[in-house]
């Protein structure tokens, strides 16, 4: 299961991480987000050398705003505390894994 990132743990879990962190910006009312959810959870379960978590934009709007998330689902990979790569919309697992490289 993917971790739940919030404003209170974002700095510690994502920005201060010494391994890449995949962040899924999503919302419960978003159909494509619900389609992508199981893929994100699968990546989290298989995580080796990276971390995976989700941000519910309805609960954490300031994080979505800070990173310019206008469309969901948006998946971002953070490396060394900075957003390194981004994908918008439902993507296959293989495409999401490419973001980590």
Backbone φ, ψ for residue 31 (5° rounding): -55, -50
Q: What is the pLDDT of residues 60-78, one digit of tens each?
A: 999 999 999 999 999 999 9
Q: Going from the N-terminus, what domains does the chain have, and what CATH number goes with each?
A: 3-99 (3.40.30.10)
The string of DSSP codes covering 67-97 is: TT--SSSEEEEEETTEEEEEEES---HHHHH
Catalytic residues: 30, 33
Q: What is the pLDDT of residues 6-40, one digit of tens each?
A: 999 999 999 999 999 999 999 999 999 999 999 99
- Pick the closest to residue 15 from 55, 59, 72 (CA basis): 55
CA distance 97 to 65: 25
Structure-token pair, residue 15: 């920005």
């Amino acid at each position: 299961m993917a971790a739940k990132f919030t404003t209170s743990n974002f700095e510690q879990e994502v920005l201060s991480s010494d391994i890449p962190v995949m962040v899924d910006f999503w919302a419960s009312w978003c159909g494509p987000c619900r389609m992508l959810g199981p893929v994100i959870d699968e990546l989290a379960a298989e995580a080796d050398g990276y971390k995976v978590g989700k941000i519910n934009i309805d609960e954490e709007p300031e994080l979505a705003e800070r990173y310019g998330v206008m469309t969901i689902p948006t998946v971002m990979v953070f490396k060394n505390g900075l957003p390194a790569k981004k994908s918008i919309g439902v993507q296959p697992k293989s495409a999401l894994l490419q973001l980590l490289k």
